[in-house]
Structure 1
Amino acid sequence: MKEIIERYEYAKKVYAKLGIDTDKAIERIKKIPVSINCWQGDDVKGFIKNDQPISGGILVTGNYPGAARNAGELKQDLSKVLSLIPGNHKLNLHAIYVDTDEEIELNQIEPKHYKGWVEWAKKEGIGLDFNPTLFSHPMYKNGFTLSSSDENVRKFWIEHCKKSIEIAEFFAKELNQKCINNIWIPDGYKDFTVDKYGPRKRLKESLDEIFSKDYDKSLVLNTMESKLFGIGIEAYTVGSNEFYLSYAVSRNTGLCMDMGHFHPTEQCSNKVSTVLNFIDELLLHVTRPMRWDSDHVVSLDDETQEMMSEILRNNFDDRVHVALDFFDATINRVAAWVIGTRNVIKALLKASLEPTEILKKAELENDLTTRLALLEEQKNYPWVDVWNYYCYKENVPFDESWLDEVKKYEKEVLSERV
């Protein structure tokens, strides 16, 4: 469109006054993939053949029609999502999303059970990340998995996590992209506990056993995801932030920080520069915690923007892996993916257009007036025109017209799922 190009040329000149090359800014964010969360598509049910209800702190609200019922439908929905967002991205799979008719247990999963996902990823030109699934299962006993006092329970989940590393390595080799393998456990107590040390000692020993498995660390980054508390573990969470941060530093592993897993008064964005002084790589779960870990669809709010700015200001492009983590069944699930992913990309674009070096120089020279003035005036800069041009070049909708496509898809595809 002529108007989009003309407005972009104007924006390009505006940003050039601050020494910012908008073409380079676009190319920079194209190289930062957002790992899209598969579990938004089916409300975290997965495709393992069992009748177990969702449990272990996982709760999805709403019953909007059209949830994916199998891997084929989920791939179809995700392909629609990818057609509506700019850039090159990844899919974040949980272990329960097997692509097989075979009846298997979680400690029996193998790369062959996910070959369909690899074939689909190759077709879409994207990478895959992975997560062992340690919830919604009979071996999630009395609120514990890897930290259970029951040795048989621990052995089951240790084997499951080892199998997950094999699958992550398979993904990386097949798709020629590093695979992030993230462990989250729902272990803990609902009410006050006496022995806080014992479960954490067992968790440490379980993790040591899992990571003793031989794997190529250039292909797989193992991360662990901390939590403040969860449903049913309000009093005591085994996998706390202090535990996993200490483990990551001492064992040279990765760490996952979920933006909804901290106290509401904490800023997750403020933690990035701390942990990356001590570990090499960080996985980020971007979500919107309305009242804490409520996993709302990501919006272009202040904390999302601050997080993406923190990544780009410090050139953490290759050290922070950006993934989504939300599930909302009160709205169209495909739309939720598109909204959340586009908002993260918008925040990355805005961050890439910041005159960071000028701001850092003003701060270093204690010219705090200039710092504040530029930060505020920058909010009026025509970043939207750069966004529109980026979408135009990527052949995806730049405005809300994507919603028409989603509604058409709902009418023709999703409404047929009963």
Structure 2
Amino acid sequence: MSIEANYQVAKKQYEQWGIDVDAALEKLKQVPISIHCWQGDDITGFEVEERELSGGIDVTGNYPGKATTPEQLRNDIEKALSLIPGKHRINLHAIYAETNGGKVDRDQLEPKHFQNWIDWAKEHDLGLDFNPTLFSHPKAEDGLTLSHPDKEIRDFWIRHCKASRRIAEHMGKELGTPALTNIWIPDGYKDIPSDRLTPRKRLKESLDEIYADQIDERYNLDAVESKLFGIGSEAYVVGSHEFYMGYALKNNKLCLLDSGHYHPTEMVSNKISSLLLFSDKVALHVSRPVRWDSDHVITLDDELKEIGLEIVRNDALDKVMIGLDFFDASINRVAAWTIGTRNMVKALLYALLMPNDQLRTYQDEGNFTDRLAVLEEFKTYPFGYIWDYYCQEMNVPSGMDWLKDVREYEETELSKR
């Protein structure tokens, strides 16, 4: 049977539950995913001075074809986008500045250093998001930045974050869609600290100074991102979830939830509804932790499906800003983007095709038998037929056809690097 014929069969099965499949696909088309640029070059960036990766981050593998120039990275992203249904965004770190061979330290970065990215985004009708880079730098070699006891070092990173917000504001103004500027820092201690309060006090004061600069919210939105622990900060992280959630809610900033930044038994899907009650918007970095914050390529596992369900059944597709954050150098990097982003879109589609209202009614009535029976039944519904049709409608390969395109790109482009 053809993709169209399979779609019609599946559509009738879902419609028996009152699910408007065509409407679900129209909704899905409107949801942008912020795709992280750093999967393509293993978070190397384009600074003049090459620096080793630090800050509790680790990229493993040496698959050939890593992007080493801005042009290569943008070409690779374009290839991945051609295989992913929908219109999306690209998330940049400050280390992806282009300085024409000149040395520009991070506190001196300006919008002009990202003009090539802006022009490229305009050409491809993409939004951009941004992150100051507070790792892999001599002034972060001891694992402390905005909470550092040395005021001179703190001030350097404060200037960098201020510059980043101005860059993001410029991006938002140029592209007509606000950039999300997300602050994550590696600050913490390897062993149990003797003073937990003072570093957090310094971090709060640093953030207050950063956000004292007036930035137009029509063009820039601010987010802060927590972490449980990292390499070299196993015992204590200054920017904990409790710290940033409190700071974000009190100061009208977005609390960004990274699905790899919590205890292994903590699920980001369980946190979304709580934050939606107290914040107009919530930001996500969707990753896949394996035993620790390992940032594996996301798969269509139970947690990813539950994240999609929490967004959809709470009518929050326009309230949750979905970004990705994984990096794997052991597989083809374009394939990593493609697999992970397609899975994020699949999770949203899966949620849009669930009888969420009926399941909510069962729960409110205490009818947990029917609720569980329906949940299990839908696991074998012909979701794949709907997905293939959506890909076809969005002019991207359906099924496994995308992998052939990646292999051809590897042969013609990646293998020659």
TM-score (norm 2): 0.98
Residue of structure 2 equivalent to 1:47: 46
Residue of structure 2 equivalent to 1:56: 55
Does 1:31 pair with 2:30?
yes
Whole-angstrom distance in 1 between the partners of 2:179 and 2:231: 29
Equivalent pair of 1:141/1:153 in contact (CA under 8 Å):
no
- Residue 14 of structure 1 and its aligned partner are, at CA, apart by 1.4
Instruction: Give CA deviations for 1:110-156 in whole Å, capped at 9, x if unaligned.
Output: 11111111111111111100000000011114221000111111111
Alignment of 1:389-404 (within 5 A): 389-404=389-404
SS at match of 1:222: strand
Residue of structure 2 equivalent to 1:170: 170
Does 1:377 pair with 2:377?
yes
Equivalent pair of 1:288/1:296 in contact (CA under 8 Å):
yes
1:313 partner amino acid = R
SS at match of 2:318: coil
- Residue 52 of structure 1 and its aligned partner are, at CA, apart by 2.2
1:187 partner amino acid = D
Instruction: Give CA deviations for 1:282-337 in whole Å, capped at 9, x if unaligned.
Output: 11111111112010000000000001110001011111111110110011111100
Whole-angstrom distance in 2 between the partners of 1:218 and 1:280: 15
Does 1:266 pair with 2:262?
no
SS at match of 1:285: strand
SS at match of 1:389: helix
Pairwise CA RMSD: 1.0
Whole-angstrom distance in 1 between the partners of 2:407 and 2:306: 32
Residue of structure 1 equivalent to 2:67: 68
Instruction: Give CA deviations for 1:92-112 in whole Å, capped at 9, x if unaligned.
Output: 100100133132110011111
Whole-angstrom distance in 1 between the partners of 2:359 and 2:51: 53
- Residue 245 of structure 1 and its aligned partner are, at CA, apart by 0.4
Whole-angstrom distance in 1 between the partners of 2:81 and 2:66: 17
Residue of structure 2 equivalent to 1:227: 227
SS at match of 1:295: strand
Does 1:12 pair with 2:38?
no
Whole-angstrom distance in 2 between the partners of 1:65 and 1:91: 23
2:11 partner amino acid = K
- Residue 277 of structure 1 and its aligned partner are, at CA, apart by 1.5
Whole-angstrom distance in 1 between the partners of 2:65 and 2:31: 30
Residue of structure 2 equivalent to 1:335: 335
1:22 partner amino acid = V
- Residue 372 of structure 1 and its aligned partner are, at CA, apart by 1.0
Alignment of 1:18-417 (within 5 A): 18-101=17-100, 102-417=102-417
Whole-angstrom distance in 1 between the partners of 2:385 and 2:142: 54
- Residue 7 of structure 1 and its aligned partner are, at CA, apart by 1.2
Q: Percent of counterpart pairs with the same letter?
A: 55
Whole-angstrom distance in 2 between the partners of 1:338 and 1:85: 6
Question: How many residues align structurally?
Answer: 416
Moved over 4 A (4+): none
Q: Is there any run of 5+ residues in structure 1 with no aligned partner, and where?
A: none
Whole-angstrom distance in 1 between the partners of 2:33 and 2:383: 20
TM-score (norm 1): 0.98
SS at match of 1:181: strand
Q: Which moved more, 1:148-157 or 1:361-370?
A: 361-370
Q: Which moved more, 1:96-105 or 1:328-337?
A: 96-105
Instruction: Give CA deviations for 1:339-363 in whole Å, capped at 9, x if unaligned.
Output: 0000111111000111111111111
Whole-angstrom distance in 2 between the partners of 1:209 and 1:360: 45
Whole-angstrom distance in 1 between the partners of 2:158 and 2:65: 35
SS at match of 1:294: strand
Instruction: Give CA deviations for 1:218-273 in whole Å, capped at 9, x if unaligned.
Output: 32111111000000011110000000001011111101111011000111110111
Whole-angstrom distance in 1 between the partners of 2:141 and 2:19: 55
Whole-angstrom distance in 1 between the partners of 2:319 and 2:226: 19
SS at match of 1:139: helix
- Residue 8 of structure 1 and its aligned partner are, at CA, apart by 1.0
Equivalent pair of 2:54/2:141 in contact (CA under 8 Å):
no
SS at match of 1:380: coil
Whole-angstrom distance in 2 between the partners of 1:242 and 1:23: 41
Equivalent pair of 1:128/1:171 in contact (CA under 8 Å):
yes
1:65 partner amino acid = P
